[in-house]
Structure 1
């Protein structure tokens, strides 16, 4: 299915219908990864239930939310799990069923976002280990559920809005017209992935010029067709430019800096100065190759950063590995959950560049998992682990709100540099 939107009861939902998920009742523990939000009504309803093993007072179970006035956060026990957890399962769910849990629990790993123009988008977050596994329910078959959840959410999470770029602040309506063209290009499997990525970066760079200001402001319904015609006509020149790309020391340095950012998962408890200093030291050790990637994130492959980015060219990639990457990449692309005021505060250009970078990052990281086990073929599990690591950067990691990180994103997406990076990662 190649549709970007599925319509039901008069409303469209932008999503990748091929994304899949099903709960594994796994050891990961959703409540260890995030703060579990609950409205006052939800919290009071839970306190009226008989939940074996749970604390008895409201204050022992809930604390006021720091970022959502009027809401509460479920407290966690010494094991890092919600106080209502019963081992690896939810005691509320076991005793009273799914409907008794807060909406934020019931909805995970769905990410549903209303937009300022009335649009609605959804994706499955690969932070959950069940997303992307065979046998799950396709997202395209869950539109009834998505719309029901969207009505229950209302505007609790706020609406997302987006401009094209800071230099060219075209509004969301124009952004959508431009996005239709980029989406069509990046989903065009008749072109090699490396060429699609380079062409998108090249066009973004072209539109970033001051003289192109009016082109975005005046974009219309023909923009996607015009962009496709341009890529077809310019393909020989794009291929020549891509072939001339060289990966110099600066490109390797900026790519490794981004990789360190991808591996960071700065949780609220990491805000303390001592933890921030330790994190910065680990970042420097990993970047320089003194420490393995696992020093920054235990879920990373146990290899040196000095292998990157060329490690991506070492193994071959199984069709299953490529397929799970596409499920991740197109999930972000189709939902536009790579940009906006609710997505790292990225404007469209910065967000799309960040998404483009996720491709060489994912392929290099997946290859590193294979190389660490002395294998010459990247399998599904390697890529699945890689995209799970990357998914944090599109919503949670504050690293990418830093001006320096955005500078790396923009610099590395410049055509000559990006071509050199792609040539190092892809055969």
Structure 2
């Protein structure tokens, strides 16, 4: 299948920060283990008695040193396997990061994880210039992935209601265009999308079995356009004109923020290293919002309180707004927000889960500012923290967390949370 680069302006190249080599447990297949074991590392003094892999839960992973770095990470922050034997000698998980390949019917969508510092800073070549590598990875997946997985139908809109891959693409394109609309504050762009989703949840698309009445193709595009005009009329112009989210919505939201910000492994891991009691107590604190914010991630400041999460950041720079736009447009256009890449969520649920990452990141940014970061640096760090978990932390795919998302959406608190934590001041 062909690989399609997204029209979103996004650049990336590896700048050898070594962050990924310190942050992730990298799986290694049996073939990859045999290849690495045959590279002769045992002849070097620094590898004497050092296992290359560790086994957890029946799976093998690259081993890490006491300082958190991969055993193959050199002092220059470069991979020693790559430097000695070339990129193809590394495990595929190392080679492909931070790219994302999402199967979408007859092609792959190419995306990027903004957990990588170079990705958040938009440093390097355009993704469109890296399609050669992406095609190589796609070919590998096609040779190793079951045909049924590659030919899976598109995720449903909700329940059993479904449309074609091309119509899912129409929805994504319409929402991406709204996210790019510079005439609106970023939080209002999301409120307009959530208004459209609310209206579309009430619609049927199959025409009651009559193909002539089905809302597909051009009819769907027209409906999305009309609802966009309605959203312009219905959604208040200012975040401060939107009702504050309710107590229950804010409580459930903070518990989701705890998951979005959590880091359980690598050099930036938080209190997970202290055991299940610490994790449970941190969950209680996030629910009660009293005292200091638990360090579920090492980047969180030591003394910041939950009250800091309620203090607006003020106006953000154009660079930071651009980061937020790139982040969410990539998730939308790559279709990472729904289906298999996001724990099987339907299209509407997936849009809502992605919308929630905006207030989550803004809440975290406020806490980081209380710890001394500038607003721009705080938002950048918060985006990396949240994107590290979005679509990857299995807790977000649990029945409990999916229920929490539906609770927030059904109570009407999701657009309120977007406005409340997206506002630049209290007036």
TM interval, short-chain normalised? 0.7 to 0.9
- Which of residues 184, 188, 193 in structure 2 aligns to 1:195? 188
Q: Partner of 2:101: helix, strand, or coil?
A: strand
Q: Deviations over 1:171-214 (max 9, x none)?
A: 552433433333333333344423321121122222223x6364
CA apart distance, 1:267:
5.2
Q: Which residue number in structure 1 is paired with residue 132 of structure 2?
A: 144
CA apart distance, 1:293:
3.0
Of the structure 1 ranges 242-251 and 121-130, higher mean CA displacement relative to structure 2 is found in: 242-251
CA distance in 2, matches of 1:163, 1:27: 35
CA apart distance, 1:325:
1.7
CA distance in 2, matches of 1:320, 1:244: 26
CA distance in 2, matches of 1:295, 1:114: 36
1:222-233 alignment to 2 at 5 Å?
A: 222=218, 223-233=220-230
CA RMSD of aligned residues (A): 3.4
Q: Which residue number in structure 2 is paired with residue 208 of structure 1?
A: 201
CA contact (8 A) 1:286 1:292 kept: no
Q: Which residue number in structure 1 is paired with residue 11 of structure 2?
A: 20
Q: Partner of 2:114: helix, strand, or coil?
A: coil
Q: Which residue number in structure 2 is paired with residue 110 of structure 1?
A: 99
CA distance in 2, matches of 1:361, 1:419: 13
1:23-422 alignment to 2 at 5 Å?
A: 23-28=14-19, 30-51=20-41, 52-53=44-45, 55=47, 60-62=51-53, 72-87=60-75, 88-115=77-104, 117-154=105-142, 156=144, 159=149, 162-170=154-162, 173=165, 174-209=167-202, 212=204, 214=206, 218-222=214-218, 223-239=220-236, 243-266=241-264, 275-302=275-302, 303-308=304-309, 310-311=310-311, 313-373=312-372, 378-379=375-376, 381-414=377-410, 416-422=412-418
CA distance in 2, matches of 1:257, 1:98: 40
Q: Deviations over 1:32-76 (max 9, x none)?
A: 32232334333322222233356579x9434568577xxx53233
CA contact (8 A) 1:265 1:397 kept: no
CA distance in 1, matches of 2:399, 2:98: 29
Of the structure 1 ranges 156-165 and 397-406, higher mean CA displacement relative to structure 2 is found in: 156-165
Residues 365, 55 of structure 1: alpha-carbon distance in 2 compared, 3 angstrom cutoff? same
CA apart distance, 1:98:
2.6
CA distance in 2, matches of 1:416, 1:343: 22
Q: Deviations over 1:370-409 (max 9, x none)?
A: 343286xx22x22210100101222321221222221222
CA contact (8 A) 1:202 1:415 kept: no
CA contact (8 A) 1:182 1:224 kept: no
Gaps of 5+ in 2: none
Q: Which residue number in structure 2 is paired with residue 6 of structure 1?
A: none
CA apart distance, 1:112:
2.0
Q: Partner of 2:4: helix, strand, or coil?
A: strand
CA contact (8 A) 1:247 1:421 kept: yes
Q: Partner of 2:321: helix, strand, or coil?
A: helix
CA contact (8 A) 1:245 1:420 kept: yes
CA apart distance, 1:296:
1.7
Of the structure 1 ranges 72-81 and 323-332, higher mean CA displacement relative to structure 2 is found in: 72-81
Q: Partner of 2:61: helix, strand, or coil?
A: strand
CA contact (8 A) 2:170 2:221 kept: yes
Q: Deviations over 1:302-334 (max 9, x none)?
A: 5222333x32x3422111111122222222111
TM-score scaled by length of structure 1: 0.82
CA distance in 1, matches of 2:415, 2:31: 53
Residues 221, 289 of structure 1: alpha-carbon distance in 2 compared, 3 angstrom cutoff? same
